[in-house]
Amino acid sequence: MRRSSIAATVAIFATVLSMSVLSMGAAVATPPTGQVEFKDLTRSQAVDGLSVPIHPGTGLASGSYTVAPGGETGWRDLPGAAILSVNKGKLTVHWAEGCSAKDYTAGQAAVVPAGTYMVANSGNEPVDFYAFFFDQPLNGPKPLAEGPTAAAPANCTGATAVPSGVSLTTPQIGTMAAGMFGNGATLDIAAGKDVYASYLDISPGWSSGWISHRPAANIVSGGELSYVMARDGKCDTSEKYHAGQAFYHPAHRHMAYNEGKEHVILYTMYFDLPHEPPAPVIGNTITAVDFTQAPPADCPRLR
């Protein structure tokens, strides 16, 4: 994982493109201001496709997992969809339904619906993967790592498994808020497209400028993040999320900012990125977020 302060780099990138836009007589983009520390968590190609309904009031969980050689999680009931993005090694996902198994190597992501699964490492090196889990119980055990295992599936060869060699770091969970887009929304994850997760430490006073971005699931673990967007012919500033909340955003244009006195800590997974090799921090960010947006005509606010 790489860490970077992106404000200056993105500002230069956006300014160069803004000058190009200006030369064509169009509006000026609004580069970000303030400080943000940024860290890549994972980028991989979704092997499977899935439509994931967004359910306000449920938990959105994430974390970085390592499975030692020969290790396995035991059989686990997952109440919602999971995205397991492999950074290192070969991950094997066993499905209880149909007693099937599938391997995912570094640079690939397993996208699985709700059900009973076992995650294992049958290789000779540790497996590292970063995961997001939808529809989790708010006060329940951490997925794949804690709590009781599920009953072994009947008639599956080698189905009985005792958890071993699984570790979890930086676990996060937030209550999915209805927000501006959560009620009745569906996240469509396309097979063959990339998923990308990042960590942001956003300083007080920071603003993204006007941006557009890919669909994203987010967990706020510190501070309060505010948004402004054009809505009904005016600037709508009602959208805010605080520590302990999670939220879903479809692809759209808005401006994010930290108007509080605390740092905002944000864990985000973006979806529907073009498939390409993982890039350094700035490269992945630019693929997921377009910082060259100009203010919309019905909301000319710059910061």
Are residues 65 and 38 part of one domain? no
Buried b (16+ CB within 10 A) or exposed e, 80-110: bbbbbbbbebbbbbbbbeeeeeeebebbbbb
Give the model's pLDDT for residue 86: 98
For the chain, how many structural domains are there in total? Answer: 2
What is the reported pLDDT for 1? 45
- Parent domain of 160: 60-171
- What local confidence, expressed as pLDDT, does residue 29 receive? 81
Task: Check residue 157 and give its pLDDT.
Answer: 76
Domain with residue 199: its CATH number is: 2.60.120.10
* Mean pLDDT for back-to-back runs of 10 residues, the chain (303 residues): 49 38 51 94 98 97 97 96 98 93 97 96 94 96 95 83 94 96 93 98 97 97 97 94 98 96 98 93 91 90 79
Residue 68 belongs to a domain: yes
Instruction: Give the integer Cα–Cα distance in Å for 286 and 14.
Output: 10
| Residue 53 falls inside a structural domain | no
Q: Which of 130, 147, 171 is a domain's end point? A: 171
Q: What is the pLDDT of residue 184?
A: 87
Note whether 195 and 255 are same-domain residues: yes
Query: Tell me, what's the pLDDT at 116?
Result: 95
Domain boundary pick from 126, 142, 171: 171
287, 247 contact by CB (below 8 A): no
Please indicate, yes or no, whether residues 111 and 23 belong to a single structural domain of this protein.
no
Contacts of 194 (CB under 8 A, 6+ apart): 43, 44, 45, 46, 273, 274, 275, 276, 287
- 136 close to 127: Cβ distance less than 8 angstroms: no
Tokens for 275, please give them: 């498939």
The CA distances from residue 239 to 88, 223, 230, 289, 302, in Å, are 37, 14, 12, 19, 17
pLDDT of residue 6: 52
Strand-pair partners of 168:
65
Whether residues 116 and 77 fall in one domain: yes
